[in-house]
Structure 1
């Protein structure tokens, strides 16, 4: 059963259609943005809109945004700026004191927290992020787990694709791209929304869950086909003996949530 009241912190490319989907199921949704021009757009679509900039918002704003919501969805990535780790922590810490002891929280995380293992990766691995953005996300995961414990579920999403996010543009015209023979890990926006809904409907709290399409085509096959489909120059790839990769397992999401992926094969999305 979808809760009556939900707050979504970050109504962007994923958060906005998620909000509209939840509204269609009967929820009242509060959604935040940092862009003033989006407020009227959100309101016209039935979202109770908040212009909310973390670390700058007033106590009253935080309280109003979270008031009466049974579920809070934290859905914004760290910005790739200097001091990314420190700033992302500060942003999350600014809202934590206002989340009540009865509210459940979903943190939309990223598989960037995983290191390359040249093998399948499950939620049980000890994470060792290799990039600064991944380290920022991992530290925030730990912060939220410490504060929220069994009221928190973390969904680690792979590379996001779908609709206006066309993968053919990502590597078009690039030369000598690395890791062409590495398997890719992507997920369509429809499945991101489906997984979040499934967590809420199944009352699956206190979990870490990967979100990723079933199939993992090779990087060179996927991005070459994607570029050709939109009539852009496909990338060229370096021939390598040693490649670095990880294969994100979605087995837990399918078993625990009884979830069937809407878009299991990335090649069929192109």
Structure 2
């Protein structure tokens, strides 16, 4: 079991994970990219360092974060913002981890790596690397797998949870596509729960998908999300009504982990979250 954990990128998920680790008495260091956020986290008694990626020279970047047992890479690819340097950033982090004392790397990847596929997909599915996003995510995963120690790649489905109610996604949108497509989402609590098992069980390695068991259509789910917030029901494009998309399988994770999901029914969660329960 790791005794100390560093989280590179203390965003919405990284922050939740850091707080859980501190509750369980781990030694934790997180990194952020702004002094303002560093100061804010310091007020929460979270040990925080400034790390702006990519760095000029990984060999001369000395941070406490790379002296921990385990490194959680929780940075966003920023592909929608036009960035293409995500694999380079991951490769630099791996180089710095090699120079430090890190024994295990966990890369938080995305089930978007399955974009372009349809039907039931799992960790063995052949990826469509012709898509730029898939190629970028795949290169980053390969960079993490090059680490000389242990590596876990956790492909997370779309994240929901506190301050991320799916109904908010609908505001300002007039027409949604693919009404019959499967939804592939996971609650923040479950993402943290899965990560805590990875941190505690040194035998876990390899690639895992993580997704809730909620099996419903995009139309049904977002209608429920709108209803929970008393918003008008969204409209869907008829032109894309016959596309069913992909359904992510995380049978590998569920068969090998002891963790039991808290929010497997994300439709029930939609209403409970609004009620404040």
Other-structure match for 1:258: 258
Cα pair distance change 1:193/1:156, threshold 3 Å: same
Q: Distance in 1 between matches of 2:105 and 2:144?
A: 9
Other-structure match for 2:274: none
Deviating above 6 A after TM superposition, structure 1's stretches of 4 or more consecutive aligned residues are none
Q: Deviations over 1:118-169 (max 9, x none)?
A: 3211111122256533331111001221x21661100000010011011002
Other-structure match for 1:178: 177
The Cα of 1:235 is off from its aligned counterpart by 1.2
SS at match of 1:170: helix
Q: Deviations over 1:85-129 (max 9, x none)?
A: 3x1122222222221375200000000000344321111112225
The Cα of 1:233 is off from its aligned counterpart by 2.4
Cα pair distance change 1:67/1:80, threshold 3 Å: closer
Q: Give the aligned length.
A: 267
Q: Distance in 1 between matches of 2:116 and 2:55?
A: 37
The Cα of 1:56 is off from its aligned counterpart by 3.1
Cα pair distance change 1:122/1:113, threshold 3 Å: same
Kindly indicate whether the alpha-carbon contact (under 8 Å) linking 2:94 and 2:147 is maintained by their aligned counterparts in 1. Answer: no
Q: Distance in 2 between matches of 1:60 and 1:241?
A: 52
Kindly indicate whether the alpha-carbon contact (under 8 Å) linking 1:150 and 1:205 is maintained by their aligned counterparts in 2. Answer: no
Other-structure match for 2:273: none
Other-structure match for 1:158: 157
Which of 62-71 and 31-40 deviates more? 62-71
Kindly indicate whether the alpha-carbon contact (under 8 Å) linking 1:110 and 1:155 is maintained by their aligned counterparts in 2. Answer: yes
Cα pair distance change 1:255/1:233, threshold 3 Å: same
Q: Cα RMSD over matched residues?
A: 2.2
Cα pair distance change 1:176/1:83, threshold 3 Å: closer
2:92 aligned to 64, 79, 94, which one? 94
- The answer on 1:18 being equivalent to 2:17 is yes
Other-structure match for 1:29: 28
Q: Distance in 1 between matches of 2:163 and 2:130?
A: 28
Q: Deviations over 1:208-233 (max 9, x none)?
A: 01010012211001111112221222
Q: Distance in 2 between matches of 1:10 and 1:264?
A: 26
SS at match of 1:8: strand
TM-score calculated relative to the size of structure 1:
0.90
Q: Deviations over 1:171-190 (max 9, x none)?
A: 34534422101110000000
The Cα of 1:66 is off from its aligned counterpart by 3.0
- Give the alignment of 1:95-174 within 5 angstroms: 95-100=93-98, 103-129=103-129, 131-145=131-145, 147-148=146-147, 151-172=150-171, 174=173
Kindly indicate whether the alpha-carbon contact (under 8 Å) linking 1:172 and 1:234 is maintained by their aligned counterparts in 2. Answer: no
Q: Structure 1 unaligned runs (5+)?
A: none
TM-score calculated relative to the size of structure 2:
0.88
- The answer on 1:269 being equivalent to 2:269 is yes
Q: Distance in 1 between matches of 2:59 and 2:45?
A: 22
Other-structure match for 1:234: 233
Q: Structure 2 unaligned runs (5+)?
A: 271-277
Kindly indicate whether the alpha-carbon contact (under 8 Å) linking 1:216 and 1:266 is maintained by their aligned counterparts in 2. Answer: no
